[in-house]
Structure 1
Amino acid sequence: MKPITYFFSILTLAVFSACESFLDVQPLESISDTQTIVDKATAETAVRGIYSALGSANYYGTGFQSIGYLSGDNIQWTGSQSQIQEFINHNVNADNATIAGSWIAIYQTINRANNVLAKVPGVTDPTLTQTLRDQYLGEAYFIRALAYFDLARTWGGVPLITKPTLSPAENSGIKRSTQAETYAQVLADLEAAEPLLPATTDRYRATKKTVWALKARYYLYRKDWAKAEEFATKLLTDATNYGLLKPYNAFFANDARGTRESVFELFYNGTTEVNSHRGQWQPQTNGGTRQWAPNDALVGLVNNPAIGGNRSVLVAKDNQNRWYGTLYYRNPASDPTYLFRIAELYLIRAEARAQLNKTTDALSDLNAVRDRAGLPASTAAAQAALLLAIEDERRVEFALEPHRWFDLVRTGRAAAVLNVTDPNRLLLPIPVNQLLTDKTLEQNPGY
C-alpha cells in the first residue's frame, strides 16, 4: 500500500460532488486544476468544497470526533478492531488507521481553504461583489483556523501549509512548527477572518459569531481567561439568536436542526451527504452496528437524577437490553454534527470566570446549564471545587461529543482521571505513512 501524503489537491471537483447541501447550491461537476476558481460560480463551488471536507467521514463526520470521545472515559468499544481500542487504552500506535485518516482529512480541508485564499482575490467576475468576496475569504480563513486548532491540540506542532498544494511533492520538506507556532497560526487566521465575515446569525456557515465561538475555545485552551470570557460573552449576550433549550434533547430530538442552541453545525442530507456517526452508535435492530456505546460509568452518570437530570435521553436500551447512544439516530443518516453549542459557551465562560476568581458569575453560568438539565443549582464555592464541578458538568453535557479527552489534557487532569501518567501520550503519534512520505517530519517523543 503506497504511503498517502497529507497534501491533497482540492481541485478535481468531482471530489466536491457530494457537497451541495452544505451550502444548498448545485455543484459544478468538473473543474480542472488550472481553472478552479475563475468566476463567482466556481468560487462558490470551491468554498462549498471546504465545508464538504470539514464534514467528511474522517474529519467531523466520524473519524476525528471519535478521537475526542474514545480517548476519554465515557465510551466503550464493542467491535473487534484493536486499533479503536488503542484510544481507550491510551496506547495509540503510529500505524493507527483513524489517526492516518484524520490527518489526511484535516490537511485536505486546509488545502481547499488555501486554494480559495489564493485564487478568489484574483477573480474579476463583476457578479462577485466585494461583500461576497470577503465572505468567501473569511470562511476559508475560519475553517483553516479550526483545522490547525484541531491539529495543534491532537498532535502538537505540525507543518504549516498556507499555500495551495498542486502535487504531493510540492510542500514536502516543510518541518514541523512548534505547538505554540501552530496555535499562533490559528489566531492569525481568526483575526483575518473576523473583519471579512458578516455579523449575521448563520448556523451552517461561518460568520463573525462563529469566529467568536472558536476564539472563546481557543483562549480557554491557551489559558487566557479574560479573553475566553470576553468572546463567550459576545455570544451569550445575544439572547435573540442563542439560548439553552428545554429540555436537554430539544436541540437534537424529533429531527431538530439549526435551533437557537446551535452556534455552528454541519448539515447532512442523508443521501449524497451521510453522517456516518449514526451507524456507529445505533444498534443492529435500528440498522447500525453499535460499535461504540456508552460505558457503565457514563450510563450511571446520565441516569442519576442528581447528575444527569434530563440528559438521560442520551442513552437508551436496545432489544437485547444493551445501552446505546441516541445523539445520532436519523434514518437516513442526516444527523447534524454540532461543532459549537451555546452550552459550551456557558461552560467556557464559567471556567474562565472561576479561574479569574469571579465565583458568583461562574456559578451563574454553570447553573444555567444545570437548570436546563433539570438539576438544582451548584453550591461549589472554593475555586478548586468550582472548577471540578464545571469539569464534571462538561463530561455529562457533552457525553457523546468530542470534548472529554481534550478537556482532561488541556487542564492537566488526564493523569488523575484517566491514569495517563506518560506525558508523551497526551499527544498522538504522527501517522507512520506521513513519516515514510516525508523524511523531514519528526515523530512525537515516546513513539
Structure 2
Amino acid sequence: MKTYKIMITLLSILVLTACDDFLDLTPISEETSADAYNTASQIEAALVGAYESFQSSEYYVWDNILFQDVRSDNNYAGGDNPEIFTIDFLNITPTHSRLFTHWSNIYNAISKANIVLERVDGVTDPLLTEERKNQIKGEAYFLRSYHYFTLVKLWGGVPLITSTIKSTAPGSVNIPRASVTEVYQQITADLELAATLLPDTYGSDASVNKARATAGAAFALAAKAYAQQPIPDYEKVLSNIQNVESSKANYRLINYNQLFDGNNYNNAESIIEVQYLGGNEGNYGPQLLLPPSISGDTWRKFVTPSHDLINAFDAQGDVVRKNASILFEAVQWVDEYWGNAAGSSIPFSYKWKEAGGFASSNRQYLLRYGDMVLLKAEALNELNQLEPAATEVNRIRARASLPDLTANQKSSKEVLRQTILEERRLELFQEGQRWDDLARFNQLVSTMNNLVEIDLRDGSTVNYNMTEAKILLPIPQQELDRNPALTQNPL
C-alpha cells in the first residue's frame, strides 16, 4: 500500500505509540481475518485504505468528469478513445468497459468502509479511545454514504451491502437491487449518524481537517442527497446547509482564482478534498486535459469545452470564472468542433493547471462551500423564499465580479430556478456536477436534444437522441452475468 498524503495526515493526529508499526504494516489484504484488526494502528490502516479509494478508483480521478461534464452539454470527448466518444454521444452499452471498472471499484470502496464499521468495536487496544472509535465510525459511515451516492446517481437502485459478505453461497452473493428510495434512505441515515460522531475539526491543521470526514462534510453530503433524491426534501437540504454554515470549521467563500491555482488547497472553502501530493502520490488526470504548452506533449487532449459552454460564460460576461476554468491555445491537431484545420485555437479544461507528467498535485474538491451556497439558493427558491435565494446567488456572482441578479432573472420561482441552474453550470464546470444538476432539475432530455453542435468536417448537427432511459447508465454486463438477481436498466 502506498503511503499517501491522506495516510500521513491521518497518522499525524493519532496519539499512538505504535506509529512505526503502522508504517511497516503488511497490507491488510495480506493479513488473516483473525489478526488483522486487533490494534489501534491496524484499524487506522484499514480506515486509510478506505480513504485511498478516492485516489485509486478511476471514477474519482477523472472519469467523474467524463460521466458528468462530457456526457452533458459542457464538453466534447476530445482525444481519440472510442469509449469516451460513446460517452459523449450517449451511446453507452452494458459492455462498456468503464461501467464494470467503476461498479467494481466503488463497491470495493464500500467493502472497505464496511470492514471498518464491523471491526472497530472489537479493537481492545487501550491506545484506541472511545472518542476515536466514534470518529472512525463516523468517517466510515461518511465514506460508505459518499460511494452509495455515486452509485445511485449513476445507476439508480443498486444492491445495498452494509456488511461484509462472508459466504460464497448464491443467497449471500446474488443480491438484488434495492429501490432508489431505499438507497437514499440508507445514505441519509448513515450521514445523520455520522454527523453525531464526527467533530467539526480535528485541530488546527487544515491538511488534516480537509483530508478527513468531519461533521461539516456529513452535513454537506446529506444536503446534496436530500436534494438529489426522487422527491427532494428542501427543508432538510436547508437545515443541513445551515449546520455546515454554523460549523466551527468556519467554511467561507474565497477568491475564485485561488480555488484552482494549485497553491491554496485545504482552504477555507474546501470541505473535503483528495490529498494528492504529486510524484508517486500524484493525479494523472491533468496530463490528459492540459494543452501542449503545459503538458509538454502534442497528442490530442480530452474533455474539450463545448461551444455551448463558452457561449454560456460569454452571455454572462463571466470573465473571472471563464479564465479560471478554460484556456485557449493553438494546436496542430484537427478539432472537429473548434477548427477543422491544424493551427486552430481551441479551448482546454483548465481548473487543473499543472500536468506533472501524469503525477500532478492538482486536486478535485469532493465537497466545497460554493456548491453549498448555490444549493442553499435552490432550496430557498423551492421553498418560495425568492429574495433570500437571490441573495445567496448574488454572493457567488459578486466574487466573480458579476452584478446582482436583475429583476428579470428572479421574476418568478420558475425563472429563478433556471437562473440558479445556469449559475451552477458556470461555478462548477469541470467539477463533476453538470449531469446530476440537469437530472435533478428534470432537464436532461430537453437540454441534450435542444443542444446544437456542428461537426465541422461535414457541417452536420450532432443528434444526441437523448431519452429518459439514457439518464441512468446500463448495469454492466459482467455484473449481470455474475449476479442473476440483478435486473437491467431500460436501454
Distance 1:22 1:398, change over 3 A: farther
Aligned pair partner of 2:471 in 411, 426, 439: 426
TM superposition shift of 1:355: 0.6
Contact between 2:269 and 2:369, CA under 8 Å: does it hold in 1? yes
Per-residue Cα deviation, 1:191-242 (whole angstroms, up to 9, x for no partner): 2212211122721100111101001111111311111111112223459721
CA distance in 1 between partners of 2:388 and 2:308 (Å) = 30
**Corresponding position of 2:90:** 90
CA distance in 2 between partners of 1:240 and 1:130 (Å) = 23
Q: State, as a whole percentage, how many aligned pairs show the same letter.
A: 30
**Corresponding position of 2:367:** 340
**Corresponding position of 1:293:** 304
Query: What pairs with 1:193-204 in structure 2 (closer than 5 Å)?
Result: 193-200=194-201, 202-204=209-211
**Corresponding position of 1:388:** 418
**Corresponding position of 1:182:** 183
Aligned pair partner of 1:30 in 22, 27, 30: 27
Larger radius of gyration: 2
**Corresponding position of 2:485:** 440
Which has the larger displacement, 62-71 or 173-182?
Answer: 62-71
Contact between 2:273 and 2:365, CA under 8 Å: does it hold in 1? yes
Per-residue Cα deviation, 1:7-59 (whole angstroms, up to 9, x for no partner): xxxxxxxxx33535444344623341413221110111110011101232413
Contact between 2:68 and 2:436, CA under 8 Å: does it hold in 1? yes
**Corresponding position of 1:7:** none
TM superposition shift of 1:313: 2.0
Q: Secondary structure at the match of 1:55?
A: helix
CA distance in 2 between partners of 1:183 and 1:80 (Å) = 37
Contact between 1:293 and 1:325, CA under 8 Å: does it hold in 2? yes
**Structure 2 residues without counterparts, runs of 5 or longer:** 12-22, 203-208, 332-344, 450-464
TM superposition shift of 1:350: 0.3
CA distance in 2 between partners of 1:393 and 1:250 (Å) = 19
TM superposition shift of 1:310: 4.1
Aligned pair partner of 1:374 in 391, 395, 401: 401
**AA matched with 1:327:** K
**Corresponding position of 1:312:** 323
**Structure 1 residues without counterparts, runs of 5 or longer:** 1-15
Distance 1:344 1:27, change over 3 A: farther
Contact between 2:192 and 2:219, CA under 8 Å: does it hold in 1? no
Q: Secondary structure at the match of 1:272?
A: coil
Per-residue Cα deviation, 1:406-425 (whole angstroms, up to 9, x for no partner): 11112111122112652111
**Corresponding position of 1:120:** 120
Which has the larger displacement, 206-215 or 21-30?
Answer: 21-30
Which has the larger displacement, 113-122 or 18-27?
Answer: 18-27
The reply to whether residue 324 of structure 1 matches residue 348 of structure 2 is yes
Aligned pair partner of 1:218 in 218, 222, 225: 225
**AA matched with 2:257:** N
CA distance in 1 between partners of 2:319 and 2:413 (Å) = 23
TM superposition shift of 1:345: 0.5
CA distance in 2 between partners of 1:172 and 1:240 (Å) = 41
TM superposition shift of 1:165: 3.6
**Corresponding position of 2:193:** 192
Distance 1:22 1:99, change over 3 A: farther
Distance 1:23 1:364, change over 3 A: farther
Distance 1:234 1:21, change over 3 A: closer
Contact between 1:135 and 1:198, CA under 8 Å: does it hold in 2? yes
Query: What pairs with 1:14-29 in structure 2 (closer than 5 Å)?
Result: 16-24=1-9, 25=11, 26=23, 28-29=25-26
Per-residue Cα deviation, 1:354-391 (whole angstroms, up to 9, x for no partner): 01110110000011011111100012221111000000
Count of aligned pairs: 430
Contact between 2:57 and 2:106, CA under 8 Å: does it hold in 1? no
Distance 1:118 1:235, change over 3 A: same
CA distance in 2 between partners of 1:119 and 1:422 (Å) = 44
**Corresponding position of 1:410:** 440
The reply to whether residue 361 of structure 1 matches residue 380 of structure 2 is no
Contact between 1:64 and 1:102, CA under 8 Å: does it hold in 2? no
Contact between 1:283 and 1:318, CA under 8 Å: does it hold in 2? yes
CA distance in 2 between partners of 1:99 and 1:79 (Å) = 19
Aligned pair partner of 1:235 in 216, 238, 244: 244
Distance 1:43 1:384, change over 3 A: same
**Corresponding position of 1:9:** none
> Over aligned residues, Cα RMSD in angstroms?
2.0
TM superposition shift of 1:337: 1.5
CA distance in 1 between partners of 2:168 and 2:259 (Å) = 42
Distance 1:378 1:395, change over 3 A: same
Contact between 1:317 and 1:323, CA under 8 Å: does it hold in 2? yes
Contact between 1:17 and 1:28, CA under 8 Å: does it hold in 2? no
Aligned pair partner of 1:255 in 248, 263, 267: 263
Q: Secondary structure at the match of 1:339?
A: strand
Relative to the length of structure 2, the TM-score reads: 0.83
Contact between 1:236 and 1:345, CA under 8 Å: does it hold in 2? no
